[in-house]
């Protein structure tokens, strides 16, 4: 049988928080075989990252670790700092989530790689170290390593940075690679490349990977075996095919169901716009709520102009959900910011209900803002930490409707109840809520004035899948009830597919494809859209394997 | 979906509605508050406190006991002129504490207003205000104080505090500007802008409470350096009207003879240190009591 590389036995982690002990991981056991990819999945707060950090001794001082973890028969828990330093890198290495933050911006990538190469093999000459760095870069399929070696991290793309980070982790020939959400910060197309690199590398080096992720698609793509964690405990351990096709635990089933998938839109969902369109071709075309014409947003950087948005045309009918999809840097968020007057519009017009921000006076601007609701990406930062939930939602009503006292709070409580936060939640502060609850508060605030149009910039990308599913449900219900039009920005095609009426695909500041949802996802015209659709890994190992082979051939 | 109020949440609510009551029960509040109340009483009724050991007159000096250490009836010893150090420390509380607190309040107020406007508006407004700050920051403090104090002539606690505040606000203003700029970029401020919240309300309800913390910390610490600065001015004869008694002056005199007679420096310094620590601890307690994120 296969040889066991890492064996974790009854590992528990307890944090001492202001004198009160809090057990985050109450004692878990698992093994990793040589040359195996073990994925640990779970939602945020499930203890998956803490477990990995405990193995490497990277937890802060207020953590107490008990139990045992043996790597090649050597105990990893309770090592002294010097012993750990010797072991780290040569037996286990870590790949971090954000490649840009894991590299030092002041040194070239060649220098940083040589540094880690030399620290693992002291006494290497300059030339030898250089040779080894080139080897490592070739191993992670870094394009043109010989020339790019003098580049600094900011000159590289996110995917290239992540390759450098992986190369760095490989510098000490580790038997075990711990990858903590290695592709979460990357675009889908880049994610696919990085996963390919990891897969090929593991075949070549016979190393094992402990992959921590929340993305079922990534799990299906690369893992051999899967551990499902929840609240520090292991719910289920199973080989990947078994887990996806015959999950035994209820929680696993829940998780899998929460993953949105392209083409699996629940048929019950219809938005107002579609029903109104079905009235027939004779119905007069209503006036669009939001019109964007030849929008150009140009930022100046050191004298050079940079067009973040380059001639975008969009229009949204009342009650319609238009989604903009694209990778990071495609200008989708800037377009959204321009529609709410937060980005400098160089040329072109943005009209909301026929009025444009640019030629509105002070009072007109105010009444215009009353008609637009905005939901930001990160609910942790979009609520004032000094306001209670009730005050946060009351703010727009206070300002635009001049409401006060009892009447105001009745309306606010009703709004909160609509997003599933009835009862005593109003008196709480944002930091006492979970991410999903905060985002529901943000949505309640955005719809408080019954806006005609809602601008939502990646409203669910900072949330866990099951939480995302709940927030999207709330969103759909409110849309049905209030019938607002919506500009929905997202990089997640599956989410867009489950929600939108029409889709616009953006690339490098331009809209490359626009059409109805079924048209764009069913029969895409451009290669770029097809590429995007293919890059997102399917949460089904067998289908994903077939797709990977199709892509390779 | 209905959430019933569980007992733990009720407890949380009752604590929250009265953050002051929660804060008042903490040692971190009671101890420094008691110290400050006592200091305030000393400042208001110095002769009552000075007479504890039977020698309550700070002006009664006997050169014969110059620089002598603590003895019966003179717990803190004598200074160079043979005056009772204890009585001087007690009588110095009024001017030192007055100048220190008044200056801190005035400079912080100016700093917060200038900093928040410069940080929030940016652009030309920021440039003008920042350069103005730089001018005051770059001006030699003593030279400026001498010019201003000799010009205005009057040398009361208020006028000296005004001069000190004139030269101590720029640092805090820079700090306020920087933290305002950080908070301004936060999503909740952008959300407020898109909601059409008036600028004044954004500044007061959204930015100020989230940006002021570092400035308040520096303000509390600056009380100490202001008390010292007052002594330099008084030492030069342009500070408070002589014959003045203040901690700063005692420290300035005592520091020259520290090796031979340390009591002349140690006792006034003890009072100064206790005052500053009390202000800082009190500020910290109140800050965490009033910050929803730090309530437990």
Q: Which residues of B touch A342 (CB under 8 A)?
A: 190, 193-194
Range list of β-strands (E), chain B: none
Task: Check B191 against A376: CB less than 8 A apart.
Answer: yes
- The number of residues making up chain A comes to 553
- Candidates A479, A472, A422; CA nearest to A447 is A479
* Within a domain: B296: no
- Tell me how many domains chain B contains: 1
Q: Which residues of B touch A429 (CB under 8 A)?
A: 292-293
Q: Which residues of A touch B203 (CB under 8 A)?
A: none
Is the per-residue pLDDT at A286 higher than 80?
no
* Within a domain: B255: yes
Structure tokens at A167: 């190369």
Q: What is the pLDDT of residue B6?
A: 41
Task: Check A423 against B198: CB less than 8 A apart.
Answer: no
| Mean pLDDT, all residues of chain B | 82
What number of other Cβ atoms are within 10 A of residue B167's Cβ? Answer: 21
- Candidates B279, B227, B270; CA nearest to B100 is B227
Q: What residue of A is the nearest CA neighbor of B204?
A: A386
Kindly state the average pLDDT of the residues B118-132: 92
Domain ranges of chain A: 4-257, 268-318+326-366+491-531
Residue-by-residue DSSP string for A497-552: HHH-SEEEEEETTEEEEEEEHHHHHHS--SHHHHHHHHHSPPS-HHHHHHHHHHHH
Bridge partners (DSSP) listed for residue A307 = A298
Q: How large is the angle between the packed helices B157-184 and B141-152, nearest 10 degrees?
A: 130
Q: CA B35 to CA A441: how far, in whole Å?
A: 44
Question: Nearest 5°: phi and psi at B241?
Answer: -60, 130
Q: Write the burial class of residue B259 (CB in 10 Å: 0-12 exposed, 13-18 middle, 19+ buried).
A: exposed
Q: What is the pLDDT of residue A488?
A: 93
Kindly state the average pLDDT of the residues A210-214: 90
Confidence of residue A282 (pLDDT cuts 50, 70, 90): low
A492: left (phi over 0), alpha (psi -120 to 50) or beta: beta
> Chain B: nearest CA to A348, how far in angstroms?
21
Pick the more confident residue, A469 or A270: A469
- A396 vs B3, B193, B195: nearest CB: B195
Q: Are A487 and A316 in contact (CB under 8 A)?
A: yes
Could you read off the pLDDT of B223-263 as tens digits, one per residue?
A: 878 887 887 787 777 877 767 788 878 888 888 888 888 88
Task: Check B187 against A370: CB less than 8 A apart.
Answer: no
- A381 vs B4, B188, B194: nearest CB: B188
* Within a domain: B211: yes
Kindly state the average pLDDT of the residues B161-172: 89
Kindly state the average pLDDT of the residues A208-237: 89
Is the per-residue pLDDT at A283 higher than 60?
no
Same fold, A4-257 and A268-318+326-366+491-531: yes
Q: What is the pLDDT of residue A278?
A: 44
- A386 vs B12, B13, B210: nearest CB: B210
Q: Which residues of A touch B2 (CB under 8 A)?
A: 422-423
Q: Which helix (H) or strand (E) holds A260?
A: none
Confidence of residue A302 (pLDDT cuts 50, 70, 90): low
Q: CA A136 to CA A163: how far, in whole Å?
A: 10
Q: Which helix (H) or strand (E) holds A157?
A: none
Superfamily, domain A268-318+326-366+491-531: P-loop containing nucleotide triphosphate hydrolases (3.40.50.300)
Contacts of A148 (CB under 8 A, 6+ apart): A109, A137, A142, A156, A160
Task: Check A421 against B3: CB less than 8 A apart.
Answer: yes
* Within a domain: B227: yes
| Residue percentage of chain A with pLDDT more than 70 | 95
Q: Are A233 and A51 in contact (CB under 8 A)?
A: no
Range list of β-strands (E), A326-447: 347-352, 355-356, 372-375
Q: What is the pLDDT of residue A412?
A: 92
Confidence of residue A139 (pLDDT cuts 50, 70, 90): confident
Q: CA A443 to CA A481: how far, in whole Å?
A: 14
A20-33: strand order across its sheet: A20-33, A4-17, A63-71, A74-75
Q: Which helix (H) or strand (E) holds A93?
A: strand A92-95
Q: Are A31 and A6 in contact (CB under 8 A)?
A: yes
> Chain B: nearest CA to A366, how far in angstroms?
6
> Chain A: nearest CA to B151, how far in angstroms?
46
Confidence of residue A215 (pLDDT cuts 50, 70, 90): confident
Q: Which residues of B touch A422 (CB under 8 A)?
A: 1-3
- A369 vs B13, B16, B195: nearest CB: B195
- First-to-last C-alpha distance (Å) of chain A: 32
Superfamily, domain A4-257: P-loop containing nucleotide triphosphate hydrolases (3.40.50.300)
- First-to-last C-alpha distance (Å) of chain B: 27
- B248 lies in which domain range? 100-291
Could you read off the pLDDT of A153-183 as tens digits, one per residue?
A: 888 888 888 889 989 888 888 888 999 888 8
Structure tokens at A267: 């048929």
Task: Check B292 against A431: CB less than 8 A apart.
Answer: yes
Q: What residue of B is the nearest CA neighbor of A391?
A: B205
Long-range residue pairs from A396-404, CB within 8 A, at least 24 positions apart, any chain = A396/A370, A396/A445, A396/A448, A396/A449, A396/B195, A396/B196, A397/A448, A397/A449, A399/B195, A399/B196, A399/B197, A399/B198, A399/B201, A400/A366, A400/A370, A400/A449, A400/B196, A401/A449
Q: Are B170 and B108 in contact (CB under 8 A)?
A: no
pTM beyond cutoff 0.90:
no
- B197 vs A376, A395, A442: nearest CB: A395
Task: Check B16 against A386: CB less than 8 A apart.
Answer: no
Q: CA A170 to CA A209: how far, in whole Å?
A: 12
Question: Nearest 5°: phi and psi at A242?
Answer: -65, -40
Could you read off the pLDDT of A487-496 as tens digits, one per residue?
A: 999 888 888 8
> ∠ CA(A453), CA(A455), CA(A458), 5° rounding?
150
Q: CA A492 to CA A261: how far, in whole Å?
A: 10
Interface list for B 203-262 with A (CB within 8 A): 205-206, 209-210
**Dihedral angle at the C-alpha atoms of A171, A7, A48, A56, nearest 10 degrees?**
-40
Could you read off the pLDDT of A406-419 as tens digits, one per residue?
A: 889 889 999 998 88
Structure tokens at B264: 């002349």
Domain of residue B262, CATH code: 1.10.3720.10
Is the per-residue pLDDT at A424 higher than 80?
no
Is the per-residue pLDDT at B23 higher than 70?
no
Q: CA A223 to CA A208: how far, in whole Å?
A: 11
* Within a domain: B280: yes
Quote ipTM for the complex.
Answer: 0.76
Q: CA B289 to CA B22: how far, in whole Å?
A: 7
Structure tokens at B173: 């203003």
Q: What is the pLDDT of residue B19?
A: 56
Range list of β-strands (E), A131-275: 176-180, 208-213, 225-230, 233-239
Q: Which residues of A touch B (CB under 8 A)?
A: 18, 340-342, 365-366, 369-370, 372, 374, 376-378, 381-388, 395-396, 399-400, 420-425, 427-429, 431-432, 442, 445
Contacts of A307 (CB under 8 A, 6+ apart): A296, A297, A298, A346, A509
Q: What is the pLDDT of residue B3?
A: 40
**Dihedral angle at the C-alpha atoms of A151, A152, A156, A159, nearest 10 degrees?**
110
């Amino acid at each position: 049988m296969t040889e066991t590389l890492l064996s974790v036995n009854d590992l528990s982690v307890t944090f001492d928080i202001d004198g009160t002990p809090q057990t985050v991981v109450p004692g878990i056991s698992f093994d990793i075989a040589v040359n195996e990819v073990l994925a640990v999945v779970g939602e945020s707060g499930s203890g998956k990252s803490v477990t990995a950090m405990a193995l490497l001794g990277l937890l802060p001082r207020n953590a107490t670790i008990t139990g045992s973890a043996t790597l090649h028969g050597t105990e990893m828990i309770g090592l002294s700092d010097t012993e750990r330093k010797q072991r780290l890198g040569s037996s286990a290495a870590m790949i971090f989530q954000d490649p840009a933050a894991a590299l030092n911006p002041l040194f070239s990538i060649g220098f940083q790689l040589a540094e880690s190469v030399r620290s693992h093999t002291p006494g290497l000459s300059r030339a030898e170290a250089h040779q080894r760095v080139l080897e490592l870069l070739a191993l992670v399929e870094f394009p043109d390593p010989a020339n790019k070696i003098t580049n600094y991290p900011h000159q590289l793309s996110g995917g290239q940075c992540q390759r450098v980070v992986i190369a760095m982790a490989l510098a000490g020939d580790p038997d075990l690679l711990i990858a903590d959400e290695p592709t979460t910060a990357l675009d889908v197309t880049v994610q696919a490349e990085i996963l390919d690199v990891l897969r090929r590398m593991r075949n070549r080096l016979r190393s094992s990977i402990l992959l921590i992720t929340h993305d079922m698609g990534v799990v299906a793509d690369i893992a051999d075996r899967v551990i499902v964690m929840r609240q520090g405990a292991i719910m289920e351990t199973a080989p990947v095919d078994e887990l996806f096709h015959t999950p035994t635990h209820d929680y696993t089933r829940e998780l899998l169901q929460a993953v949105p998938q392209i083409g699996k839109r629940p048929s019950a969902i219809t938005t107002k716009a579609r029903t109104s369109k079905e009235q027939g071709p004779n119905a007069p075309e209503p006036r669009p709520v939001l019109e964007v014409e030849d929008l150009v947003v140009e930022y100046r950087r050191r004298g050079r102009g940079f067009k973040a948005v380059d001639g975008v045309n969009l229009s949204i009918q009342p009650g319609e959900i238009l989604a903009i999809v694209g990778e990071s840097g495609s200008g989708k968020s800037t377009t959204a910011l321009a529609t709410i007057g937060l980005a400098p519009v160089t040329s072109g017009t943005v009209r909301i209900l026929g009025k444009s921000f640019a030629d509105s006076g002070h009072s007109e601007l105010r009444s215009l803002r009353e008609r637009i609701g905005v939901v930001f990406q990160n609910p942790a930062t979009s609520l004032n930490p000094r306001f209670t939930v009730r005050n946060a939602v009351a703010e727009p009503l206070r300002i635009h409707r001049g409401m006060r006292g009892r009447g105001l709070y009745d309306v606010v409580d009703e709004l909160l109840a609509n997003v599933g936060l009835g009862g005593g939640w109003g008196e709480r502060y944002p930091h006492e809520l979970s991410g999903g609850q905060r985002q529901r508060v943000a949505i309640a605030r955005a719809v408080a004035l019954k806006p005609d149009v809602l601008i939502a910039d990646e409203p669910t990308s900072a949330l866990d899948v099951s939480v995302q599913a709940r927030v999207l449900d709330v969103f759909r219900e409110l849309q049905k009830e209030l019938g607002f039009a919506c500009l929905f920005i997202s990089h997640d095609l599956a989410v867009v597919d489950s929600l939108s009426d029409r889709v616009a695909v953006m690339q490098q500041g331009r809209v490359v494809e626009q059409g109805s949802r079924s048209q764009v996802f069913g029969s895409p015209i451009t290669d770029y859209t097809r590429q995007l659709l293919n890059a997102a890994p399917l949460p089904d190992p067998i289908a994903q394997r077939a797709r990977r082979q199709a892509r390779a051939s | 979906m209905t959430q019933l109020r569980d007992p733990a949440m009720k407890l949380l609510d009752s604590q929250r509605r009265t953050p002051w009551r929660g804060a008042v029960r903490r040692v971190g509040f009671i101890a420094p508050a008691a110290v400050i109340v006592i200091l305030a009483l000393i400042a208001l009724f110095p002769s009552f406190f000075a007479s504890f050991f039977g020698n309550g007159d700070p002006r009664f000096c006997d050169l014969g006991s110059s620089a002598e250490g603590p003895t019966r009836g003179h717990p803190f010893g004598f200074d160079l002129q043979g005056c009772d150090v204890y009585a001087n420390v007690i009588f110095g509380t009024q001017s030192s504490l007055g100048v220190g607190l008044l200056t801190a309040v005035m400079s912080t107020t100016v700093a917060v207003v200038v900093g928040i406007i410069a940080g929030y508006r940016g652009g030309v407004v920021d440039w003008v205000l920042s350069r103005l700050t730089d001018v005051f920051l770059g001006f030699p403090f003593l030279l400026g104080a001498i010019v201003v104090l000799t010009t205005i002539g009057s040398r009361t606690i208020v006028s000296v505090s005004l001069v000190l505040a004139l030269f101590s606000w720029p640092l805090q203003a820079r700090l306020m500007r920087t933290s305002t700029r950080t908070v301004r970029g936060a999503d909740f401020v952008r959300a407020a802008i898109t909601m059409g919240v008036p600028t004044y309300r954004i500044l007061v309800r959204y930015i100020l409470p989230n940006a002021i913390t570092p400035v308040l910390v520096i303000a509390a610490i600056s009380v100490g350096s202001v008390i010292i600065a007052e002594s330099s001015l008084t030492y030069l004869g342009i500070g408070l009207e002589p014959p003045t008694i203040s901690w700063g002056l005692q420290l300035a005199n005592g520091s020259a003879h520290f090796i031979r007679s340390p009591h002349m420096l140690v006792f006034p310094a003890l009072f100064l240190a206790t005052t500053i620590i009390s202000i800082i601890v009190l500020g910290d307690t109140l800050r965490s009591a009033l910050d929803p994120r730090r309530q437990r």
